[in-house]
Amino acid sequence: MSGHHPHPRQPDSEDLTWSRERLMAAAVEALLVEKRVVTSGDVARALDYWASRTPADGARLIARCWTDETFAARVMRSVNKAAGELGMDIGPTRVVAVANAPTLHNVLVCTLCSCYPIGLLGDSPGWYKSRAYRSRVVREPRAVLAEFGVRIPDDVEVRVHDSTADLRYIVVPMRPAGTEDLTEKELAGLVTRDCMIGTAVPSYDAG
């Protein structure tokens, strides 16, 4: 590199405007630490744990369901325990699996706020927390699904799960046709985050 050229000034994070909510969270955290309810290390470890969760964990669980019927049955009884068999710690909040079938398509929402199986899928997408998704998917789920590119025939029941209390949900999608020869790892690659929310269905093109 030679010569000088001007760099546009990039704002540091302190230069951005803080929302009321962000200020409140920072104030509460500072108070909790000051009053020795938690330590800064506790907060950092908790954030680190949540940041380490990704939809790849959920996808691995679903792929195992597709290749092992008895595992799938255990998932339907307790997702938390079954995830433990795969070495995943998805946290103490109880997660319930809802399975798609040829006559049933499940889709998840939390109309109250943003309840989501973070332990299995990582942080939720922005649209999941939006008022538009939360208010519309309960009263016109088929229109919302169509906007995601998912068209459900009228003879298939669309079942919306509104997660408003102590349970979290994960959709177990149907295994796509033509995937008999795929490995479990390849199958997991077909399972996207949205497939486990119900706003997508896994597809496979052997092409």
What amino acid positions are annotated as catalytic residues?
110, 113-115
CA angle 106, 157, 115 (to 5 degrees): 25
Instruction: Compute the distance between CA of residue 32 and CA of residue 35 in angstroms, rounded to an integer.
Output: 5
Question: Smaller CB distance to other proteins: residue 45 or 139?
Answer: 139
Residue among 28 and 44 whose Cβ is closer to other proteins: 28
Task: Give the contacts of 93 (CB within 8 A, at least 6 positions apart).
Answer: 117, 119, 166, 167, 168
Chain residues binding other proteins by CB under 8 A are: 94, 111-112, 138-143, 154-167
* Beta-carbon-side half-sphere exposure of residue 19 (alpha carbons within 13 Å): 3
Closest contact distance (angstroms) between CB of 9 and other proteins is: 43
Q: Rounded to the nearest whole angstrom, what is the least distance from the CB of residue 149 to other proteins in the complex?
A: 17
CB of 181 to other proteins, least distance (A): 34
CB nearer other proteins, residue 3 or residue 92: 92
